[in-house]
């Protein structure tokens, strides 16, 4: 593995998550192995690389959604707020309140728009009606959905367009005020226009929380990510090949594979 | 050349063979459909034609006399309702709970879950007479409940449970994994996930299981003849014996000479009852589904 020295030189107190030697197996079949990387606070970090090299699995380790996969076995350390969240005994409900996740396909619940946002709010933050109304409005405004849906909050969320559904899902994660938002190819199931809207929204979200985005769209990673990590399938498992500021990864990659991948010659 | 190949239909033996195969299979499918429809239409119209004349308000509200050849079926309806009520009151919560356990709590590949599932599938195929004998031995004799509405209801519950559990479980499995992941990613508790996300989506499967279960229960004869008995007066309590509709029909058509007319009318009442339960269940299901949206 070849992690550039520039990373080590950076101030580590600005990291929100420090991953150390993280490996994941599905029923003894490795998904990725020995990944170590810091994720910086209030920055956008993107994970790129070909399919099947463990990017999504890596994401699911960080909020322990991987617990739901039968026979998945994780080893290594994930330091988040001075706590190792890779430990079995960690309170995953409290963890997932602080680390939100957006999926590739928008997955609003088959309930009304309002209920979609109310559900996590009531569970974790407040049962006060006025407060709930206020949070719903400010959050929907933050994702640019308020004007579009304010008159039909009681309609089914499934009636929204794909892009609107994805923004609703982002709002649903934001009502919990997460410190880190994991996004698994949030734009790939959307049409180009909706994709652009969501991408714009992601850039604004930087002011609210840190973001870790898996994307297959290299141009998107180059546009929005402050840091970029390249995962690659090597030695029968997913590996972290190169990690650093996006400008360096895209302009002066140190690894030959990275260079070929960026130029579209491999992957 | 290519254009010609595409526009002209295939010729020669292959073409004729294709034609026969296509027309032939269409014919077979139609024949099958017609056969199934005609069979059930014949059955239903036979019951309606022969039973309609006897159907009246008096028939539903009077006690049977002359071994059922005359009078009505009021006490039989009461017994049927009671047996059904016990059966559903017992099987519904147990069925729902087991379905949740199987689909949401035990891992899909767990040995334990697989064993339960396999046992249920075997149980669902066990002839009802076996359930009847089991009920007689266990509820009537060992538990000392005797020939009673309670024994009958509990025996029916045992019989209906496998169908109810499996179909409800299918309902829960129909919930997309994306929804479950979404709920987990928000840190929602198991209970709120169940109530707000899983149940609304699983309701159609639940209703289907309920209708199948009630349908099987209300039409059951063999399991009840050994457990709830065939006394045709009003039952005085849960522990009293009572005769249900299907047993009444069986008795009138097999044992009572000249009971055919009332057997037909009772069968018609049973048919209408099943239809009503079916309609009500799907109506409730639809309302429950809409509730989630508004």
* Beta-carbon separation of B293 and A105 below 8 A: no
Say yes or no: B176 contacts chain A, CB-CB below 8 A: yes
Say yes or no: A127 contacts chain B, CB-CB below 8 A: no
- pLDDT, greater one: A5 or A137: A137
| Residue B175, pLDDT score | 84
Say yes or no: B194 contacts chain A, CB-CB below 8 A: no
Question: Is A264 exposed, middle or buried (CB count within 10 Å of its CB: 0-12, 13-18, 19+)?
Answer: exposed
Nearest by CB: A70 against B107, B196, B293: B107
B257 in helix, strand or coil? coil
Looking at residue A126, the DSSP 8-state letter turns out to be: -
A254 in helix, strand or coil? coil
pLDDT at A46 over 80: yes
Give the mean pLDDT of B187-211.
83
Query: Residue A64 and residue A98: Cα distance in Å, rounded?
Result: 12
pLDDT at A170 over 90: yes
- The predicted-structure confidence for B171-189, as pLDDT tens digits, reads as follows 888 888 888 899 999 988 8
Please state whether beta strands A99-102 and A44-48 pair in parallel, antiparallel, or not at all (unpaired).
unpaired
Query: Residue B183 and residue A92: Cα distance in Å, rounded?
Result: 13
**Reported confidence tier of residue B209, pLDDT bands at 50, 70, 90:** confident
- Percent pLDDT > 70 in chain B is 92
| Residue carrying the six token digits 């006394």 | B231
Locate the chain A residue with the closest alpha carbon to B108: A70
- The predicted-structure confidence for A141-157, as pLDDT tens digits, reads as follows 999 899 999 999 999 89
Q: What is the CATH number of domain B59-293?
A: 1.10.3720.10
Q: What is the pTM of this model?
A: 0.75
Give the gap in angstroms from C-alpha A19 to the nearest C-alpha of chain B.
20
Give the gap in angstroms from C-alpha B107 to the nearest C-alpha of chain A.
7
Q: Which residues of A touch B109 (CB under 8 A)?
A: 70-71
Q: Nearest CA to B177 among A103, A186, A86?
A: A103
Domain locations along chain B: 13-54, 59-293
Q: Nearest CA to A211 among A100, A110, A93?
A: A100
Say yes or no: B197 contacts chain A, CB-CB below 8 A: yes
pLDDT at A167 over 90: yes
- The predicted-structure confidence for A74-131, as pLDDT tens digits, reads as follows 999 999 988 899 988 889 999 999 999 999 999 999 889 999 999 999 988 888 889 9
* Beta-carbon separation of B293 and A123 below 8 A: no
Locate the chain B residue with the closest alpha carbon to A113: B293
Say yes or no: A93 contacts chain B, CB-CB below 8 A: yes
Q: Which residues contact A176 (CB under 8 A, 6 or more apart)?
A: A97, A98, A100, A120, A121, A124, A125, B186, B187
Please state the ipTM of this predicted complex: 0.84
Q: Nearest CA to B255 among B68, B43, B129, B50?
A: B68
Q: Which residues contact B196 (CB under 8 A, 6 or more apart)?
A: A109, A111, A115, A119, B188
- The predicted-structure confidence for B125-145, as pLDDT tens digits, reads as follows 899 999 999 999 999 999 999
Mean of all residue pLDDT scores within chain B? 86
* Beta-carbon separation of A115 and B176 below 8 A: no
Beta bridge partners of A20: A77
Query: Residue A19 and residue A205: Cα distance in Å, rounded?
Result: 23
What are the start-end ranges of the H helices in chain B?
2-7, 12-51, 57-61, 74-100, 111-124, 128-135, 149-173, 177-185, 190-192, 199-218, 222-225, 245-254, 260-291
- The predicted-structure confidence for B43-95, as pLDDT tens digits, reads as follows 999 999 999 988 999 999 998 988 888 888 999 999 999 999 999 899 989 99
**Reported confidence tier of residue B6, pLDDT bands at 50, 70, 90:** low
pLDDT at B293 over 60: no
Please state whether beta strands A44-48 and A210-214 pair in parallel, antiparallel, or not at all (unpaired).
parallel
**Reported confidence tier of residue A4, pLDDT bands at 50, 70, 90:** very low
* Beta-carbon separation of B192 and A119 below 8 A: yes
Beta bridge partners of A101: A182
Say yes or no: A150 contacts chain B, CB-CB below 8 A: no
Q: Nearest CA to B186 among A132, A96, A22, A112?
A: A96
**Reported confidence tier of residue B213, pLDDT bands at 50, 70, 90:** confident
Locate the chain A residue with the closest alpha carbon to B199: A110
pLDDT at B196 over 90: no
What string of H, E and C letters represents the secondary structure of A37-94?
EEEECCCEEEEECCCCCCHHHHHHHHCCHHHHCCCEEEEEEEEECCEECCCCCCCHHH
Q: Which residues of B touch A71 (CB under 8 A)?
A: 109
């Amino acid at each position: 593995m070849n992690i550039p020295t520039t990373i080590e030189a950076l101030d580590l107190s600005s990291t929100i998550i420090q991953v150390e030697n993280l490996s994941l197996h599905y029923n003894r079949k490795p998904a990725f192995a020995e990944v170590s990387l810091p994720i910086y606070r209030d920055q956008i970090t993107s994970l790129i690389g070909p399919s099947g090299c463990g990017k999504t699995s890596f994401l699911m380790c960080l909020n322990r959604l991987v617990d739901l996969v039968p026979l998945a076995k994780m080893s290594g350390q994930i330091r988040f707020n001075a706590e190792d969240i890779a430990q079995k005994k960690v309170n995953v409900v409290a963890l997932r309140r602080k680390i939100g996740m957006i999926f590739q396909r928008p997955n609003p619940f088959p309930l009304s728009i309002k209920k979609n946002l109310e559900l996590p709010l009531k569970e974790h933050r407040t049962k006060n009606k006025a407060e709930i109304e206020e949070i719903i409005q400010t959050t929907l405004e933050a994702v640019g959905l308020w004007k579009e849906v304010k008159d039909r909050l009681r309609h089914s969320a499934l009636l929204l367009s794909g892009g609107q559904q994805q923004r609703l899902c982002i709002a649903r994660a934001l009502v919990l005020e997460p410190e880190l938002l994991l996004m698994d190819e949030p734009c790939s199931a959307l049409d180009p226009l909706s994709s652009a809207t969501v991408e714009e929204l992601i850039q604004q979200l930087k002011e609210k929380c840190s973001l870790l985005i898996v994307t297959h769209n290299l141009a998107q990673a180059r546009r929005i990510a402050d840091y970029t990590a390249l995962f690659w399938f090597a030695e029968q498992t997913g590996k972290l090949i190169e990690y650093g500021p996006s400008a360096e990864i895209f302009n002066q990659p140190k690894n030959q594979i990275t260079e070929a991948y960026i130029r579209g010659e491999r992957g | 050349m290519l254009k010609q190949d595409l526009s002209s239909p295939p010729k020669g033996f292959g073409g004729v063979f294709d034609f026969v195969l296509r027309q032939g299979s269409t014919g077979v499918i139609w024949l099958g459909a017609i056969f199934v429809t005609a069979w059930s239409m014949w059955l239903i119209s036979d019951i309606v034609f022969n039973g309609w004349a006897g159907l009246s308000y008096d028939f539903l509200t009077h006690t049977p006399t002359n071994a059922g050849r005359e009078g009505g079926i009021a006490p039989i309806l009461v017994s049927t309702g009671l047996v059904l009520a016990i059966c559903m009151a017992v099987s519904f919560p147990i069925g729902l709970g087991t379905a949740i356990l199987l689909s949401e709590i035990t891992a899909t590949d767990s040995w334990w879950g697989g064993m339960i599932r396999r046992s249920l599938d075997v149980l669902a195929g066990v002839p009802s007479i076996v359930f009847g004998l089991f009920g007689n031995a266990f509820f009537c004799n060992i538990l000392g409940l005797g020939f009673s509405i309670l024994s009958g209801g509990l025996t029916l519950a045992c019989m209906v449970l496998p169908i109810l559990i499996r179909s409800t479980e299918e309902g829960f499995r129909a919930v997309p994994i994306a929804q479950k992941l979404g709920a987990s990613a928000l840190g929602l508790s198991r209970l709120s996930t169940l109530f707000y996300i899983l149940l609304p989506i699983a309701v159609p499967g639940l209703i289907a299981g309920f209708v199948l279960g009630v349908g099987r229960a209300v039409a059951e004869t063999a399991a009840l003849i050994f457990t709830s008995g065939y006394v045709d007066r009003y039952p005085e309590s849960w522990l009293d014996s009572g005769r249900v509709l299907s047993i009444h029909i069986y008795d009138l058509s097999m044992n009572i000479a000249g009971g055919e007319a009332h057997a037909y009318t009772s069968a018609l009442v049973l048919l209408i009852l099943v239809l009503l339960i079916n309609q009500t269940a799907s109506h409730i299901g639809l309302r429950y589904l809409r509730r989630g949206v508004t």
